[in-house]
Amino acid sequence: MAVVAAAAGWLLRLRAAGAEGHWRRFRGVGLARGFLHPSATVEDAAQRRQVAHFTFQPDPEPREYGQTQKMNLFQSVTSALDNSLAKDPTAVIFGEDVAFGGVFRCTVGLRDKYGKDRVFNTPLCEQGIVGFGIGIAVTGATAIAEIQFADYIFPAFDQIVNEAAKYRYRSGDLFNCGSLTIRSPWGCVGHGALYHSQSPEAFFAHCPGIKVVIPRSPFQAKGLLLSCIEDKNPCIFFEPKILYRAAAEQVPIEPYNIPLSQAEVIQEGSDVTLVAWGTQVHVIREVASMAKEKLGVSCEVIDLRTIIPWDVDTVCKSVIKTGRLLISHEAPLTGGFASEISSTVQEECFLNLEAPISRVCGYDTPFPHIFEPFYIPDKWKCYDALRKMINY
């Protein structure tokens, strides 16, 4: 009985967080989908912790790419993969559990549609997955590798940093693995703890030769993923797992590209620049509203989108205008990518700054389980940091 109640509790949490699927190394209770139902009124303090720390804000329906369809993040990924396999006969998708549709359903239907030689499982071995993918790409074919959770990308670190990133340079452009894209679920999800919540982009930011891209929404995800797949350099595409089901909007059915290495100013403002990527963009958007409402402060909100090579010009241009910069990410503070942005901006825009650059990030701890609500750089922490910057 207690087991069933515990299971129901877990499932409610999952539902509220919007995540879905099997957890490969999850040691909790089984997750049969039949148990899911909408959460009841949230009066109980214990239930309050299940409310997400962000509100997904869809972008207006895109008009310039033809017919659209309501898709959530995992469906927009499927759509991008579908488009890729349709127009590029060399393209293949592989990784753990992708054949049946993937633990986050990103590859549902693709094996049936394109065949088992094009959408297939690999043994459980990340260094093998990436190494194998590099080899496919070396022959010129398009390799789309999935690493089941960004937390498990580290066995492949050598292949990514020492091999993929350096293939073209070290061979004098005789060989390259530009047609490799690695996709991986990324970021906090409400209960993922140490090994299902990580945002490892900073480790890869230090590696010339690869591109690292993180979308904030289904529409962005499809366009950016297609750009990564078509880009002539090896790319890592991190997908905010908490958005797989929680984020839904109109997304074009046909393929389209969103350029890499271009940040997007999603809201113009004059007093403070806020920079984030992935899920955190929605947090800072809300912070911008709070700032407007409570402090009369006008915020310019930037989604960085590509971590490396990053769009220095857009961020600096904004800071030159506003004089204040706040950067926020879930990943730990020390050595996080905010430090790179902060360092570059103070070099380029020193005399324009009205206050020290503010970084609102995760603490320098592993990602905790029960303490997640305290760990994450939520809107209150960002708001408070913003307020201090304004009053500096």
Residues at the site binding other proteins, with contacts judged by CB under 8 A: 90, 92, 100, 117-118, 120, 122-123, 125, 127-128, 130-141, 143, 155, 158-159, 162-163, 166-176, 178, 208-209, 211, 232-233, 261, 309, 312-313
Instruction: Read off φ and ψ for residue 164, nearest 5 degrees.
Output: -55, -50
Q: Exactly one of 20, 96, 126, 146 is catalytic; which is it? A: 126
196 has catalytic annotation? yes
Pick the closer one to other proteins by CB: 347 or 384: 347
Using DSSP bridges, classify how beta strands 299-303 and 180-186 pair: parallel, antiparallel or unpaired: unpaired
Position 108, amino acid: V
Radius of gyration of the chain (CA): 21
Nearest residue (CB) to other proteins, 66 versus 89: 89
In whole angstroms, the minimum distance from the beta carbon of 35 to other proteins comes to 15
- The residue among 183 and 324 lying less far from other proteins, judged by its C-beta, is 183
Residues 162-167: contacts with CB under 8 Å, at least 24 apart? 163/131, 163/134, 164/130, 164/134, 164/209, 164/210, 164/234, 165/207, 165/208, 165/209, 165/210, 165/234, 166/209, 167/134, 167/138, 167/209, 167/234
Q: Render the burial of 23-47: b for 16+ CB within 10 Å, e for the rest.
A: beebeeeebeeebeeeeeeeeeeeb
> Between residues 161 and 295, which has the closer beta carbon with respect to other proteins?
161
- Taking the complex as a whole, how short is the minimal distance between the CB of residue 168 and other proteins, in angstroms? 5
Minimum distance from CB of 31 to other proteins (Å)? 13
- Minimum CB distance to other proteins smaller for 90 or for 352: 90
Q: Which one is catalytic: 96, 146, 191, 196? A: 196
Closest separation between CB of residue 39 and other proteins, Å? 26
Residue 47 CB, shortest distance to other proteins, in Å, is 30
Tokens of 147: 């690493």
Q: Phi-psi bin for 323: left (phi > 0), alpha (psi -120 to 50), beta?
A: left
Which residues are the active-site residues?
A: 126, 196
